[in-house]
Amino acid sequence: MRELRVLLNQTQKVRLQAALQHLRDLSFQASSPAIPVTIADTIPVNREDGILKGHGTLEFNGQVVATQCGVVEQVNKLVYVRALKARYKPEVGDIIIGRVNEIAPKRWRIEINFSQDAVLMLQSMNLPDGIQRRRTAVDELNMRSIFEENDVVCAEVRGFQHDGSLHLQARSQKYGKLERGQLLTVPAYLVKRRKQHFHHLEQYGVDLILGCNGFIWVGEHVVLGENEMPEDQESRMENQEQNFTPLKVRQQICRIANSVRLLSAHGFSLSLEIILDTAEASVSSNVEINDMLGAEFYVQTAEREVQRRASLLKKSRR
Amino acid sequence: MATAPTSTYSPSNSWERARQQQKKSLFRKEDWVRSDGRNFHQCRPAFLRTGATNAASGSAYAEFGSTKVIVSVFGPRESKKAMMYSDTGRLNCHVSYTTFSAPIRGQGTDNKEYSSMLHKALESAIILETFPKTTVDIFALVLESGGGDLPVIISCASLALADAGIMMYDLVSAVSLSCFGTNLVIDPTTEEEACRDGSFMISYMPSRNEITQFTLTGEWSTAKINEALELCLDACSKLAEIMRSCLKDNVLS
């Protein structure tokens, strides 16, 4: 995603610096200071024996050196280097959003924010008519009617293949093709793993899906039911015309999408509360949707975050 | 610079050759001062920044005097399907010059020789086993060529790889040196490179005390090689310190 370029005037710059400084102080109070390292820096360890060398470390000349730039983290005996520009690290059961890159024999190759394309097998996908049966050659030829190139798809990680690429499955109703919305790309480390990744925002009538790989989907709400896919082109076209997304819903989609863009530009972790907070603040201060990406709201968001974290810290202290 | 028309065919204008020889003899004098005022064992001041390109996984920009290079690293990403499964990752290097990089405007060329030399310099520093079956692409673009291009490209590329989060054994810094008669001149500019007797370039990993690439052209005696090696290793260590502090600033901010 293109970085947000915000032109701040002098007072806004001062306010932003003050807010960022507050955030740094707050995080300093909350957790122990972390040691930044660059490549081939020795990592200071207390006990030489019994240290497990984790990701991003290497043993050299009896010392532990870093192979990546980042921050040293220690969990009991495990020492590892957490890279700042962390790539997405997939785990089984992650909810993922991706775009279909190509259609291969009996599978779709899906581009997620990872070093390799993920694979969605035809067998891991529910057939349109919902019947559980063996996939035949006709099914294989009709793969294009389910997903085409450049479709946005939501799926779950089933496992890893032997070469490290991901195996996806989309067997439940909530997975599948995503239409009528926006796909946003944020750095993957901003989306933490939670219990719920599918959110339905009632007051806006919008679906929000936070993919663990850093792809976020904001779209029109889809009623989950036994959807019967229309078999032919004409009826599908008619359906689309009748179900034209109203302007109000589109505006809400843009508003939520802009709050996500704003928060990722700041580098704040994305969660439902903070996104809703930002959207509500923009509505209450009567900020126009396109002005949300402007300088003033940018600085206000940082200040609001300072207050939020300060109050959280107070609450946890009590 | 008008050429006087001659009746016979001669390979080069004698006036040109006289100028060349004059320059060469100038460089061999003991008290010759370099055009930018440095002494023989002084490198150009280095300006390094990471995060130059947004679209790339990692990128770096380096300015050494008038040599300006920008390197973008993409990866690790899918290898082409034609390539067989391999336990180790692949490195793909690409060095190109812009049309405005040389004093005389020319076609932007794809320098294949530099690309393969960059590959050899970096492949031993990267831990390829960490990304099997994928490729890391390195694209180096020389915006202005002011001499000593390849060492600058190599140092800038290793900075970009560190920015991209690719696991490496150590940062690679590179320095080149030219020999004019008995004078050893470090970090030469284009005009110095044009009339040199021999060149010496090393790519070095300071923390491991290992040389990844060593290029020597021209006529060298053992004593001169030793002296040149000492000079270059020292310069490489200092350059690596500068690169490290640039990365640290990035990590802290």
Residue B27, domain member (yes or no): no
Q: Which of A80, A33, A30 lies closest to A57, judged by CA? A: A80
Mutate to test the interface with B, among A55, A109, A113, A115 (most CBs of B within 10 A): A115
Q: Domains of chain A: which residue ranges?
A: 1-33+181-318, 34-82, 85-178
Q: At B221, is the secondary structure helix, strand, or coil?
A: coil
Identify which has the larger pLDDT, A33 or B227. B227
With CA atoms as reference, report the closest residue to A146 among A169, A106, A177: A177
pLDDT of res. A224: 66
A38–B247 CB contact, under 8 Å: yes
- Would you say residue B33 lies in a domain? no
| ipTM metric | 0.74
Q: How many CA atoms lie within 13 Å of A201's alpha carbon, on the beta-carbon side?
A: 26
With a CB cutoff of 8 Å and minimum separation 6, the contacts of B25 are none
- Cβ of A163 and B85 within 8 Å? yes
Across the interface, which of B57, B75, B165 has its CB nearest the CB of A68? Answer: B165
Q: Which residues of B touch A71 (CB under 8 A)?
A: 251
Q: For the domain A85-178, what is the CATH code?
A: 2.40.50.140
Range of the domain at B229: 38-252
State if pTM tops 0.80. Answer: no
Contact B164, B58 (CB under 8 A): yes
pLDDT at A226 over 50: no
Q: Is residue B6 one of the residues assigned to a domain?
A: no
Which string of b and e fits B36-60 if b means at least 16 CB within 10 Å? eebebeebbebebbbbbbeebbbbb
Count Cβ–Cβ pairs < 8 Å, chain A vs chain B.
77
Looking at residue A217, its pLDDT comes to 92
* CATH code for the domain in which residue B155 is found: 3.30.230.70
Q: Number of structural domains, chain B?
A: 1
CA distance B247 to A101: 35
Instruction: Extract the tokens encoding B78.
Output: 């899918």
Tokens of B207: 């923390």
Interface of B with A in 116-135 (CB under 8 A): 127, 131-134
B110 CB-near residues (< 8 Å, 6+ apart): B94, B95, B96
Kindly report the CATH number that applies to the domain delimited by A34-82: 2.40.50.100
Give, as one character, the DSSP assignment of residue A172.
S
- Region A235-247 average pLDDT: 66
Tens of pLDDT, residue by residue over A189-201, are 888 888 888 888 8
pLDDT of residue A240: 60
Task: Express each pLDDT in B55-96 by its tens digit.
Answer: 788 999 999 989 999 999 997 887 776 667 778 888 999 999
So what's the pLDDT on residue B231? Answer: 92
**Mutant choice from B90, B131, B134 vs A, greatest count of A C-beta within 10 A:** B134
- The alpha-carbon gap from B45 to the nearest alpha carbon of chain A, in Å, equals 22
pLDDT at B73: 94
- What element of type H or E holds B60? strand B58-64
Instruction: For an interface test with A, give the residue of B169, B210, B241, B252 to mutate (most A CBs within 10 A).
Output: B169
Q: Do B163 and A69 touch (CB under 8 A)?
A: yes
Query: Would you tell me the crossing angle of helices A247-266 and A295-317 to the nearest 10 degrees?
Result: 70
Residue A304 in tokens: 């609001």
From the list A154, A178, A153, A158, the residue with the least C-alpha distance to A168 is: A158
Residue A68: predicted pLDDT: 87
**Bridging pattern class, strands A206-210 and A215-220:** antiparallel
User: CB-CB: which of A67, A71, A163 is closest to B169?
Assistant: A67
Does B74 lie at the interface with A, CB-CB under 8 angstroms?
Answer: no
The reply to whether A34-82 and A85-178 are identical in fold is yes
CA distances from A93 to A160, A168, A189, A213, B72 (A): 11, 9, 17, 12, 33
